[in-house]
Amino acid sequence: MATTTNAVPPSILKPSAGSIGSSKLSNDPSAIEKYNWLLHVMYGRGEYDRIQQFIRIQSQKNSYMTYIQALVHRQEGRIVEALDLFQTCVIENPSLVNIKQVAKSLALLGRYRVAIDAYKEALTRTNNDWEIFHNLGLCYMQLREFTEAKQYLLQALQISEIQEASYLALGKIYMLEGEREEAEATFERGARRNPESPTLFTQIGLLAFERAHYTKAFECFGTALTFCPTHTPAIMAACQVIQKHGDADVALSKYRIVYGRKPECAQVWNNIGMCFFSKKKFVAAVSCLKRANYLAPFELYILYNLALVHLYLQQNASAAIFLQSAIRINRKHAPSYALLGVALSKLNDPENALRAYTYSLKLDPTDPMALLNYAIFQTNTGVPKSKVDTTLQQFYKNYTERATSTNQRELDDSMLDIAKRLIAPTSGIPPQSTYASPPKTTYSSPPPTTTSVQHEQDDVSSPSTSVFSPRKPHEVKSYDEDTLEKPVQETPVVKTKIFDDGRHRQRRGKQLPTLSTNAKPVQNEEQDESTAF
């Protein structure tokens, strides 16, 4: 019995004349663009690999495929390739959207002048696009041309008054110009238009915190956390207020939330370290600060806090090294020079200590802590009484002005007691030096934060400890004389080779208890500038 097979006709395997003519349909725009909806859906879902694979197998490409591919490249960080594809789209179709994408890619590459020209070319096609004016303001802000930047940002807000990004950018420009009141007014106007914006309320709270208006600051941070309980900058700023009031345990409990979201944030570890320092847990404080320094080795206030903790632990050489690193980062930071003067005076280097004090007062002649330390240094080095009295008069003047202009908790009352002892000393033993400035804490903020706050960046209480200045040469006793006056118990001799440079040898001279052991923590009055942009 013969079996029959259904053979494929040869006419299907070989293209006929009709089929050759029908192959021209592949170049038909309607046939190519019928997949645009699919590309749009995949891009909205973030399926970038599938988009690349789909475009790769297509024999023909339209302008929309090129446009989507350029967007994918930019999302992946391949800005140069995205710019080439966007420029191809402009050549094929010089529309407003394509020109804006070219300008945005140029701005991401740092070519702000060319980006400005591209945005101005886009302005010839429309006059009511908020995004164009906003991006022009950002480009001028990056070029430090603040007048033009404010002009374009104000035009953007005239077109659309509900854009949070424009209010943040305009407020940041005012802060860079030093106009804090204008910046706060801008943020408040934006908060009225965007009543559920955690970023704007956080910025308002930070500006209030700088002026020591802690109640208003805490209310703003609480409002921000109401609308976004996981907003990291608001949590950090609220913890900063809690630290300012000396409640380190509550602040540490809040920092656990931030640590779970940002375990490699240097500002978090810095603030945790200063919380432990205020609780006198010095090993934990040094460990946290060292971790913060590892994560951000060029952060000024982390180095400053490390120097402060090491100075409190009588590790003066290490403190001086950290302060030198901080000064290399910012040569105009007066508290670092003042604290370096204290460290150098403890290292028996009065010449360099004098230079550090002089330059610190040259940068900030109104710092009462630096003036008081300088007066103590002058007393201990045999400077005439008239010069010491002049320094103390400047100290009292600036202390009074700062006490009237800021919150009383910003200043340490023990400074007045030390100043009175300098005016009328009761014994021949030199007074103790106080720290040149209170420790700093920093807080994180959305990039570029910081910073940074900060502003990205950087305000915590720490024990108000004493740092001893070197005694006069005729008052310094040798090590042998000390041992003769106060014999010590003999200890078994261990035959071990010890390299001792004398840094950790402590003098056994009498100490004047100018500060009590349970003194109130010194409060900080500076705030690391940080904005969310």
> Judging by beta carbons within 10 Å of its beta carbon (0-12, 13-18, 19+), is residue 232 exposed, middle or buried?
buried
pLDDT band at 430 (very low <50, low <70, confident <90, very high): low
Measure the CA–CA gap between 203 and 275, rounded to whole angstroms. 23
Whether residue 198 has pLDDT greater than 90: yes
pLDDT tens digit sequence for 77-112: 999 999 999 999 999 889 999 999 999 999 999 999
Whether residue 172 has pLDDT greater than 90: yes
pLDDT band at 452 (very low <50, low <70, confident <90, very high): very low
| 394: number of Cβ within 10 Å | 18
pLDDT band at 212 (very low <50, low <70, confident <90, very high): confident
CATH code, 195-263: 1.25.40.10
Whether residue 434 has pLDDT greater than 70: no
Secondary structure element (H or E) that encloses residue 71, with its range: helix 63-75
Average pLDDT over residues 504-514: 39
Q: Which residues have CB under 8 Å from 188's CB, separation 6+? A: 204
Q: Which one, of 187, 257, 266, lies nearest residue 457 by Cα?
A: 266
pLDDT tens digit sequence for 282-314: 999 999 999 999 999 999 999 999 999 999 999
pLDDT tens digit sequence for 111-151: 999 999 999 999 999 888 999 999 999 999 999 999 999 99
| 207: number of Cβ within 10 Å | 24
Q: Which one, of 55, 53, 77, lies nearest residue 65 by Cα?
A: 55
pLDDT band at 346 (very low <50, low <70, confident <90, very high): very high
pLDDT tens digit sequence for 352-368: 999 999 999 999 998 99
The listed range with the strongest mean pLDDT (198-202, 237-241, 414-418) is 198-202
Confidence (pTM): 0.65
Residue of higher predicted confidence among 376 and 475: 376
Q: Which one, of 81, 28, 87, lies nearest residue 59 by Cα?
A: 28
Q: Check: CB of residue 380 under 8 Å from CB of residue 472.
A: yes
The percent of residues above 90 in pLDDT, for the chain, comes to 49
Residue of higher predicted confidence among 408 and 337: 337
